[in-house]
Amino acid sequence: MTHAIVYSQFGGPEVLTLAEVPAAEPAAGELGVRVEAAGVNPIDWKVRSGLRPSGALTEPRRVGGDLGGVVTAVGPGVDGFRVGDPVAVFGVQGGYATDVVVPAGKAHVRPGGVSAAEAAGLGIPGGTAYQAVRSLSVGPGDTLLVHGGSGAVGQAIIQFAILWGATVVATSSERRFDRLRELGAIPVAYGEGLADRVRAAAPDGVTVIIDAAGTDEALETSIELLADKSRIATIVRGRDAAALGIRAFGGGSPEALTPQQLAWRAEAVPVALNLIAAGAFSIELGPSFPLAEAGQAHQVVQDGVDGKVVLLP
């Protein structure tokens, strides 16, 4: 048997329970992985609460898509992995667990110097950021405005954009300015007068905008600052994007990601792992919780916290 976090009804963090579940052996094309750290993403609590529709609960549902761990078994037909390999796993179901079986295509060998917690904090934020920056063709000559720059996705957007030659202006509370400067962004405080502060920070104007905050202020300011709406995108307010004439990458958008966008999200993980190992990309880690305290971890993420929250089985 192994242990995993499950829930059988939508609701608050208290619906999450630690349960014994049958241990599984990897089938063809799969890996067995001992979980060392599981990333807690905002989508996890949004689905658990029912805020993000996900279909009826017909059996206990497991949680968690991103994790760092060690390979414990290799299924038939799988090449490139050995028992004992440290791995980063993304985009699976049930990562809040002590052990998991995952498709080998969702795992990447973790380079030396990349911790399990860093790997667990990479998948959704890194994939979303990489895909958004690629979809908007951000590069040299661009000045990118990132709303919500101090969050996990915002920080990843900043780093990819700067690596690809853009100048980045990022919004946050003043308390988080040092982190934004550390990443190479020009920080501006959100709140009344935001558009004027962005103009002062980028006197030649912004050429592309990514909303990772989801506030009315962020969307209204974006439309005020940039006439070319094809270069404005939200990753949070996808349901509202069409009415505003801007682009959406997830965030409840009725339009599914394209095959190319999905490929970019997958490509982000090995790219970022190698950048982390080279000291060219960083994951800001926040508080960690034991597996049994997944409900508390959800509440902390929902309330807002600095850094990436992880569970440590």
Q: In the chain, what are the domain boundaries?
A: 2-122+283-312, 125-248
pLDDT at 52: 86
pLDDT at 35: 98
pLDDT at 23: 86
pLDDT at 1: 82
Query: Using alpha carbons only, what angle is made at residue 235 by residues 192 and 302, rounded to the nearest 5 degrees?
Result: 75
Q: What architecture (CATH level 2) is domain 125-248?
A: 3-Layer(aba) Sandwich (3.40)
Same CATH topology for 2-122+283-312 and 125-248: the answer is no
Rounded to whole angstroms, the Cα distance separating 113 from 228 reads 41
pLDDT at 14: 97
pLDDT at 277: 96
Q: Which two tokens stand for residue 206?
A: 């912004």
Closest CA to 272 of 128, 83, 145: 128
Q: For 177-196, how does the pLDDT look when each residue is reduced to its tens digit (9 = 90+)?
A: 999 999 999 999 999 999 99
pLDDT at 53: 87
Q: For 92-103, how does the pLDDT look when each residue is reduced to its tens digit (9 = 90+)?
A: 999 999 999 999
In the predicted model, residues of the chain with pLDDT beneath 70 are none
Q: What architecture (CATH level 2) is domain 2-122+283-312?
A: Alpha-Beta Complex (3.90)
